[in-house]
Structure 1
Amino acid sequence: MVSGRCLCSGVRFEITGELGPVIQCHCSMCRRASGTAFATNAPVHADAFRIVQGQELITEYESSPGRRRAFCSRCGSPLYSRMLDRPEIRRVRLGTLEEDPGARPVAHTWVSAKAAWDTLCDDGLERFDEAPPPPYYGSPGPRR
């Protein structure tokens, strides 16, 4: 199990399943949502993701049709995103995790949209100009 929380600790959650591929997304929406050069996300099965405190503090924003980004309404921490056509998946923001999940980034996505000031280092990860093919995006790890 891995636990996570927002900045103010008002929202706490647990993940009991394995994370899917860890992706560093450079799209403009992820940059704006995270306030940094990219967002590091990993999919997890929705039934393995449980809010244990602060459900009432979670606010969702529809950033594009059918996509919702969840954040703490008190401190603004981004927590996860979900797609209405894929209700079985939550894409968790790895910066909210309290422990090392064991998973490591496997790719950079939307590199064509990276910030002009971002000097993407040569870290050996796969790079995709846009969205990657399956199994990268939205494929959680096996259920436990």
Structure 2
Amino acid sequence: MTAFRGSCLCGAVAFEVEGPFDQFLNCHCSRCRKASGTAHACEVIVQAGALRWLRGEKEVARFDLPQARSFATAFCRTCGTPLPHLTRSGRQAIVPAGAFDAALGTAPDRHLHWASRADWYVHGDGLPVEE
């Protein structure tokens, strides 16, 4: 097993994720676009037990979108960096891929919620898409 470390911009929060990843995807839903401020959120999904906080867990704020069955985000209270969070079921962790500190040696395996993508997004990576 390989451990992947990540942190926030200000360094207050650090975490580690044990690989391999269950999923590595680009989510194009409107909620992920708003939460990330980009065309899609690039996320790693792992079992909850694969995530370990190294420092600053108390500095992580979580927002659960009240009207959504399962949408949430987490971020550093100081610098706002998107950070990992557990799903509401507590079974999995969603980890923003951009929060990792080093190369992952892999790439996303698919696009999710493709039908909701931004009309200005140009697709050219050849990954399969899921509606």
Scaled by the length of structure 1, the TM-score of the pair is 0.81
1:117 equivalent in structure 2: 120
How many percent of aligned residue pairs carry the same amino acid?
Answer: 33
Q: Number of residue pairs matched?
A: 127
1:31 equivalent in structure 2: 33
Structure 2 residue corresponding to 1:62, chosen from 53, 61, 64 = 64
1:139 equivalent in structure 2: none
Cα deviation, residue 112, structure 1: 0.9
Counting strand residues as a fraction of each chain, which structure ranks higher?
Answer: 1
2:39 is paired with a residue whose SS is coil
Where does 1:122-141 land on structure 2 (aligned, <5 Å)?
123-129=125-131
Contact persistence 2:48–2:86 (CA under 8 A): no
Cα deviation, residue 110, structure 1: 1.0
User: Which structure ranks higher in relative contact order (CA pairs < 8 Å, sequence separation ≥ 6)?
Assistant: 1
Separation in 1 of the partners of 2:48 and 2:20?
11
Contact persistence 2:21–2:45 (CA under 8 A): yes
Contact persistence 2:4–2:18 (CA under 8 A): yes
Cα deviation, residue 33, structure 1: 0.9
Contact persistence 2:28–2:118 (CA under 8 A): yes
1:92 is paired with a residue whose SS is strand
Structure 2 residue corresponding to 1:76, chosen from 70, 77, 80 = 80
Unmatched tracts of structure 1, length 5 or more: 130-144
Residues 64-121 of structure 1, C-alpha deviations (whole Å, 9 max, x = no match): 2344321111111111243222x12101110000122223111111111111221222
1:112 is paired with a residue whose SS is helix
Runs of 4+ in 1 over 3 A off after TM superposition: none
Scaled by the length of structure 2, the TM-score of the pair is 0.88
RMSD, aligned α-carbons:
1.4
Aligned partner letter, 1:92:
V
Contact persistence 1:22–1:104 (CA under 8 A): yes
Contact persistence 2:87–2:94 (CA under 8 A): no
